[in-house]
Amino acid sequence: MLDIERIREDFPILRREVYDRPLVYFDNAATTQKPRCVVEKIEAAYYNVNANIHRGVHFLSQQATEAHEAARETVRAFLNAPSSAEIIFTRGTTEAINLVASSYARACMQPGDEVIVTAMEHHSNIVPWQLQGMRLRVIPIDEHGTLDLEALPGLFTDRTRLVAVTHMSNVLGTVNPVAEIARVAHAHGVPILVDGAQAVAHRAVDVQAADVDFYAFSSHKIYGPTGMGVLYGKAEWLDRIPPYQGGGEMIRNVSFEKTTYNELPYKFEAGTPDFIGSTALATALDYVQRIGLDAIAEHEHELLRYATERLGAIPGMRFIGQAPEKGSVLSFLVGDIHPYDLGMILDRLGIAIRTGHHCAEPLMHLLGVEGTARASFALYNTKAEVNALAEGIERAQKMF
């Protein structure tokens, strides 16, 4: 069992007050708070090891390069990727998916080709494919928010070029069986990309066991800094597709007549990378692994169970997404209260939730709602905070 009070001491922001009330932070699906060790790592790097990497012969540059590449190895181990050359640093999940959409489309697709997605995708796994002129075919969901995988084989055509699915829905909390989906995709000769933004902070990810071809996630969703993300890609695909951007670092030789490209992973990392952010991400991953992802998952599962029971007792409560396999996200509506109004009232009580369509408008249209209120849990949240949320909702009800 986790010592939550001890863990909360690692997050100074949790001690602050909002409108003279203790902060209750339930917006973790949008971004997590940062432990002291991550912030201290950033400060120490800027004060002690700040030099551009890879191209310098002086001591600081060599030291910064070693730290950056050590961070890449930390990410490799975290995902159980075969090689650190398959770990590409990006600005986040969105850029990672755009990288694949752009480069894979140039090498392997034509306008009008098809990408299979799910009905629960974030806009970041919809719009990039549309920008490339691709047609989307959608795996449906049932009334609980579970994928209808029986429909998946029938979605493949002779123009299907990729399957791109979320590992865990940021709205429904549904955890999708990506290994099973990968098997179906590969049986049809199609690679799979997984949006892991919501999953990585809540469960262990093994890209080899799942046999996915691409896996993307963001640092800030797993207690690391913003502006830093990761794309894992199988070397066979990363070697095959062209660079995403041009500039320094991604080149081998440049002339006015021709440019040849660097080896993996640098082929996809044009310009000066965020070598401070990479080391801070590695620190965040080390922090999570010291606590233990299994222990975190157990704690968050109990929080979700308790919150579902506590909030479910509130008259007019309607949960959006009740899949059997579900992560620590609770989307809901309460009677006729607009989610925005509920969010504003809770904010005045010091409780931070997310309201709106959560960058998933197609899912909202399918559900027949404009948006939802969403509480999302992290390793530092408590049942006492869930009680505060429930009491805040009950207080809001009295105002309508």
Show which residues are catalytic. Answer: 359
Distances (CA, A) of 382 to 4, 136, 302, 385: 8, 40, 10, 5
Helix, strand counts (H, E) of the chain: 13, 17
> Do 275 and 228 contact (CB within 8 A), yes or no?
no
Tell me the three-class secondary structure of 226-283, residue by residue.
CCCEEEEECHHHHHHCCCCCCCCCCEEEECCCCEEECCCCHHHCCCCCCHHHHHHHHH
Distance CA 25, CA 5 (A): 15
Pairing of strands 214-218, 229-233: antiparallel
Q: Which residues contact 236 (CB under 8 A, 6 or more apart)?
A: none
Work out the number of other CB atoms within 10 angstroms of the CB of residue 8. 16
Distance CA 185, CA 114 (A): 13
> Do 192 and 181 contact (CB within 8 A), yes or no?
yes
Sign of CA dihedral 363, 367, 373, 379: negative
> Do 154 and 391 contact (CB within 8 A), yes or no?
no
